[in-house]
Structures are given as C-alpha cells and as structure tokens.
Amino acid sequence: MMYIGNDLIESIPLELSNISRPGYIGTFKRNLKIKYSDLIRQFSQAPEFLIAVSQPQNQQAGSDTYQRNP
C-alpha cells in the first residue's frame, strides 16, 4: 500500500511466495512513484509504503489463529 500522509493512494496485492525475492517489492514501489510522480510533487511528505498480510476470506473475522506450513 502506498500512502501520502494519511491518504491511501493505491493498494496492490502481492504474491507472498515472491516477497523474499530481491527486487520484487522495489519494482512495485518504483512503479508507484513513477505513476504518481505529479501527486508526490504536490506534497512536502515523501510517500510511505506498507506491506500487510490480509486474512483469507474464508477465515472468521477477528480470529487470531494462523496456519504455518511445516
């Protein structure tokens, strides 16, 4: 997710299996910075990026249970 201040600019789903691959996340950040370069120039704050893991839709909301692959 890309934020400028408190505003969510865009959210992109990532493949969890590729997050540890070098350059995977950097590619998305670079593309978002290019795509929103005009917007970024309008603000004094630099964009912030957040990676969040969302729960699958079939899991109950509020559940603290996570499955780990052995």
**Is 33 a member of any domain?**
yes
**Is 38 a member of any domain?**
yes
**Is 60 a member of any domain?**
no
Phi–psi pair at 38, nearest 5 degrees: -65, -40
**Is 14 a member of any domain?**
yes
- pTM equals 0.70
Model confidence at 56, in pLDDT bands (50, 70, 90)?
low
> What is the domain range of residue 20?
2-49
pLDDT one-digit tens code per residue, 20-34? 999 999 999 999 999
**Is 56 a member of any domain?**
no
Question: Which alpha helices (DSSP H) does 1-70 contain, by range?
Answer: 24-35, 37-42
- As a whole number of angstroms, the distance between CA 40 and CA 21 comes to 27
**Is 62 a member of any domain?**
no
How many structural domains compose the chain? Answer: 1
